[in-house]
Amino acid sequence: MSDNISSVTIIKPRSGWQLIDWRELLRYKDLLYFMVKREVTVLYKQTILGFSWAIIRPVFSMIIFSIIFGNLAKIPSDGIPYPVFSYVALVPWTYFSTAMTRSTQSLISGAGIFTKVYFPRLIIPLTPVIAGLVDFVIALAVVGVLMLYYSILPTLNVLWLPLLIVLMIMTSAGIGMWLSALAIQYRDVGFATQFMSQLLMYAAPVVWPVSLIGEKFGDTARLIYGLYPLVGVIEGFRSALLGHNPMPWDLIGMGSITAVFLFVTGALYFQRKERIFADVA
């Protein structure tokens, strides 16, 4: 008669600062795919216009900005027709704003899942960041229509677009990890995110060009302003797609420093606080 021997896996909360366990995330890639698919499906479930909403938001913002800032306020647009000038900036900005907002609330809305079964909690704030790329790609396709309408031809700088997208994703994921870990413990963060999103938009060069900073405050101020990672991303998008200016590598470089810092520290802080999520959810 042989004894049946069963193995038992004991999962203990980790303490202190932890690096990202990429191998563990890779083992749960199917779960990440399922959660991203569910995020996209739930977002547009029972809607009449469906994925058209990915276009409606930036297009209507472009129309309003063109009337108010382009026609009434006469804000310069570096010689580019204002509608395409603002829309190209709105595409990465809308992605960032949406990913940040949804990622901030992700732990709160997903408390019913992670308090019952184990999986890498880092998947939760990363899900809206990845799912938002669907809307991003749809909205980006409209840029081609506007470029065709205004007879704007792309240049070789368009090859740098993937780099800018990676920088955009890293910034969104880093802030999302920071804010989601804070929001589940301090619910005020969730309310403040909406207000902060509006401030960050007007602080970014969405409705006005970065060249105004250099003209009014000098090149040093312009370079420091580049630490806001969306500055290099937005101006880079304009240069890559519209070709009106050389690629702003100084701004992209400064923004990359901030994006990497936000991503690394966000992941470290998230995993440090991970052990208390179930208690405060």
**pLDDT at residue 1, rounded to an integer:** 46
Concatenated DSSP letters for 177-214? HHHHHHHTT-THHHHHHHHHHHHHHHHTTTSS-THHHH
Q: For the whole model, what pTM was predicted?
A: 0.89
Over the stretch 60-69, which tens digit does the pLDDT of each residue have? 999 999 999 9
At 93, phi and psi to the nearest 5? -65, -45
**pLDDT at residue 93, rounded to an integer:** 96
CB atoms within 10 A of CB 24: 12
Q: How many domains does the chain have?
A: 1
**pLDDT at residue 227, rounded to an integer:** 97
Q: For residues 144 and 229, is the Cβ–Cβ distance under 8 A? A: no
| Residue 10 is assigned to a structural domain of this protein | no
Domain range spanning residue 35?
Answer: 22-280
| Residue 276 is assigned to a structural domain of this protein | yes
**pLDDT at residue 47, rounded to an integer:** 73
| Residue 14 is assigned to a structural domain of this protein | no
| Residue 213 is assigned to a structural domain of this protein | yes
| Residue 17 is assigned to a structural domain of this protein | no
Concatenated DSSP letters for 208-229? S-THHHHHHH-HHHHHHHTTSH
Query: Average pLDDT over the chain, rounded to whole?
Result: 89
| Residue 249 is assigned to a structural domain of this protein | yes
| Residue 74 is assigned to a structural domain of this protein | yes
Q: What is the pLDDT along the chain (281 residues), one digit of tens a residue?
A: 445 555 555 545 555 556 677 788 889 899 999 999 998 888 887 777 777 888 998 999 999 999 999 999 999 998 899 999 999 999 999 999 999 999 999 988 887 787 777 888 899 999 999 999 999 999 999 999 999 999 998 889 999 999 999 999 999 999 999 999 999 988 889 889 988 998 999 999 999 999 999 999 999 999 999 999 999 999 999 999 998 889 999 999 999 999 999 999 999 999 888 888 876 76
Residue type, 211: S
**pLDDT at residue 154, rounded to an integer:** 85
Q: Quote the CA–CA distance of 221 and 132 in Å, as a whole number.
A: 32
